[in-house]
Amino acid sequence: MKMTLTALLVALNLSVFPTLGIGATFFQENFDDTNFSARGWYDGPTGAVDTTEHIPGSTASLKCHFLQGGTHCNPADGDYTLRHKFTASNSVYISYWVLHSANWVGSGETYHPHEFYILTNLNGDYDGLAFDYLTAYVEENQGYPQLNIQDGENIDLTKIGVDLTNVTENRAIGGCNGTQPGLGQDYVDCYAAGSVYWNGIDWKGPTAYFFDPAQKVLWHKVEAYFQLNTISNGKGQPDGIVRFWYDGQLVIDHSNVIIRTAQRPTMQFDQIVLSPYIGDGSPADQTFWIDNLTVASSNPGTVSTSVPSPPVLR
């Protein structure tokens, strides 16, 4: 029986090292037309391509128009469940450009809108979002950049509210079974959903950049990076990474995160989903646009801690 390198390392009780390497680009999407299937998107991918709004040098962007009260982008434009697989990797980097309408208010709640979801090889090609072995999110809330992780399928339902972080690897890391200390998170959640529990950890940026009236109607570059932690001596090590850049400025940066335990040592990122969602319904008729998406294994540039770069004028 053949054994992968990762499985062999786990069997030998050695470290499983994250893929940093050369920063391979998995794919790029410029949203020039609606022929998404031909470019590897699936699950009935449709959406509105806008040739009026786009960054300089581009010809079009993906438009998401929320009707007031709508939970998803305007259904008349398509279902906006765009899934794309990529080479399984211990790390994933995404970058894209985003523009908002002048009246953009987001969800009007302390949660949502969800925008990009990143799933792993432990779930199927068409599995649902949020309640998985791991879902990572790149989004905004109340104007703040935000990264989230959930791992509801890992929750030990017999130990809800019990801190298992120093007891067992057979636990969730995103809440309900205790939370790793010192994460710098803004919120941890654990709540009942029918016969199961869901969880989540959120990290927010320091400023509500996306609500700045002068900046809202300009194009801005978003970059995000997740790196799974290593597994060593049968335990998940606190060396996973979550990062978010806004116009080149690093605004979320944590490099001590346990994202997987030894319960799921072969977990790797391998699917991205673009499916904007406001659970309680959009509080306004509002729109945002996405242009020039890149999905890679790592950031091809350098980390900047300087002030944000000038936005791209429309």
Q: What is the pLDDT of residues 246-268, one digit of tens each?
A: 999 999 999 999 999 999 999 99
Q: How far apart are CA 147 and CA 138, in angstroms?
A: 5
**DSSP state letters, 284-300:** S-EEEEEEEEEEESS-S
CA distances from 265 to 122, 125, 175, 260, 311 (A): 10, 20, 19, 7, 40
Q: How far apart are CA 268 and CA 209, in angstroms?
A: 31
Q: Which residue reads 């391998």 in tokens?
A: 270
Do residues 105 and 72 make contact, with C-beta atoms less than 8 angstroms apart?
Answer: no
Query: Which of helix, strand or coil describes residue 146?
Result: strand
Q: How far apart are CA 97 and CA 220, in angstroms?
A: 5
CB atoms within 10 A of CB 21: 11
Mention every residue, 6+ apart, whose C-beta is less than 8 A from residue 35: none
Mention every residue, 6+ apart, whose C-beta is less than 8 A from residue 110: 141, 142
| pLDDT recorded at residue 5 | 34
Q: How far apart are CA 145 and CA 159, in angstroms?
A: 32
| pLDDT recorded at residue 313 | 64
CB atoms within 10 A of CB 99: 24
Task: Return phi, psi of residue 211, to 5°.
Answer: -105, 0
For the chain of 314 residues, list the mean pLDDT of each consecutive stretch of 10.
34 34 84 97 96 97 98 94 97 98 97 98 97 98 98 98 98 98 96 97 98 94 98 98 97 98 98 98 98 93 48 67
Separation of CA 99 from chain center: 18
Query: Which of helix, strand or coil describes residue 183?
Result: coil
The structure tokens listed for 305 are 């801690």
In CATH, the architecture of 22-49+63-149+203-231+240-254+267-296 is Sandwich (2.60)
**What is the sign, positive or negative, of the torsion defined by CA atoms of 45, 269, 156, 149?**
negative
| pLDDT recorded at residue 312 | 72
